[in-house]
Amino acid sequence: MNIFIIAEIGINHNGNINIAKQLIDVARNAGADAVKFQKRTIDIVYSKELLDSPRESPWGSTQRDQKEGLEFGLDEYREIDNYCWQKNIEWFASAWDMESLYFLRQFNLKYNKIASAMIVYEDFLREVASEGKHTFISTGMSTTEDIGKAVDIFRSAGCPFELMHCISTYPMLDEKANLNCIETLRQLYKCNVGYSGHETGLAVSYAAAAMGISSLERHITLDRAMYGSDQAASIEPAGFRYLVGAVRKIEKAMGNGVLGIREEEIPIAKKLRAHIPRHSNRLEKACLR
């Protein structure tokens, strides 16, 4: 099974559709399977008190200015939808509220994503599961009870899903990755498990790929020095190309786990074991084609 690689654009476009398109190009050129965005209804996700509080940003001096500056609307998502169709790459988004979920339904998207923050919102999970789309469920900040309830909801609805091991710190320290949770999740919930990473480098994602994950999600950016809370936990274009290329090599390198002599090893074995009596006659029979 190939690892489904998701380039998480999120809000790293900084409210600029041209940056979003450049990031779609980065993902497509690197060989990602899909790009993902985030959709919020600002007045639902955030309180009035927070939105009225001060925050300096390129868009103004309040939290509302900043959050509205980062949010795409219908026109931008129509442009994204058309651009991804032209570039032959899938796109989808994690909705952070019911209204955003309903907003995304007007697009013919193949996938849904449950952000770690949303896994405890059971009514929301039921609404997502009712769509019947393959759903990636991140498990950051979650207990086994939280994850189990989400799994039960999706199984009861007959909606295909997979879990994604995730540590919700931005950026995540490598030593906090706890990658063995990937196998724990597989054993506990008997489903495919992916990895959503927020580390700054690539090594942890390589290790996750070698653990048999079904999907890999990493944030991408044009420049980690750009404005934005997710930029520091993101990968720049060259790094993302290295990541995708290495993951595809790792997939091939894992093999089938069957022990034995490979056909291409026979001439080497004959040469290096020529001095051992009666050994060569056994090589052909022992060979794994």
| Tens digits of residue pLDDT in 228-256 | 999 999 999 999 999 999 999 999 999 99
User: For residue 17, what pLDDT is reported?
Assistant: 98
Query: In CATH, what number is assigned to the domain containing residue 99?
Result: 3.20.20.70
Same-domain pairing of 201 and 71: yes
Are 68 and 59 in contact, with CB atoms under 8 Å apart?
yes
The pLDDT tens digits of the residues spanning 83-117 come to: 999 999 999 999 999 999 999 999 999 999 999 99
User: For residue 231, what pLDDT is reported?
Assistant: 94
pTM of structure: 0.94
b/e code 201-234 from CB counts within 10 Å (16+ = b): ebebbbbbbebebbbbbbbbbbebebebebbebb
Same-domain pairing of 159 and 174: yes
Same-domain pairing of 262 and 214: no
Q: Between 144-157 and 181-189, two packed helices, what is the crossing angle to 10 degrees?
A: 50
Same-domain pairing of 230 and 270: no
Same-domain pairing of 193 and 273: no
Same-domain pairing of 239 and 273: no
Same-domain pairing of 199 and 289: no
In DSSP notation, 10-42 reads: ETTTTT-HHHHHHHHHHHHHHT-SEEEEEE--H
Same-domain pairing of 163 and 118: yes
In DSSP notation, 109-122 reads: -SEEEE-GGGTT-H
Same-domain pairing of 33 and 81: yes
Q: How many domains does the chain have?
A: 2
Are 193 and 163 in contact, with CB atoms under 8 Å apart?
yes
Same-domain pairing of 280 and 230: no
Are 155 and 176 in contact, with CB atoms under 8 Å apart?
no
The boundaries of the domain holding residue 213 are 4-255
User: For residue 289, what pLDDT is reported?
Assistant: 61
User: For residue 182, what pLDDT is reported?
Assistant: 98
For residue 171, say if its preceding peptide bond is cis, omega within 30 degrees of 0.
yes
In which residue ranges of the chain is pLDDT below 70? 279-289
Q: Which two tokens stand for residue 210?
A: 């070698």
- Is residue 93 within a helix (H) or strand (E), and if so which, with residue range? strand 90-95
CB atoms within 10 A of CB 245: 12
Same-domain pairing of 158 and 270: no
In whole angstroms, give the CA distance from residue 170 to residue 195.
15
* Strand pairing category for 90-95 and 161-166: unpaired
Same-domain pairing of 159 and 276: no
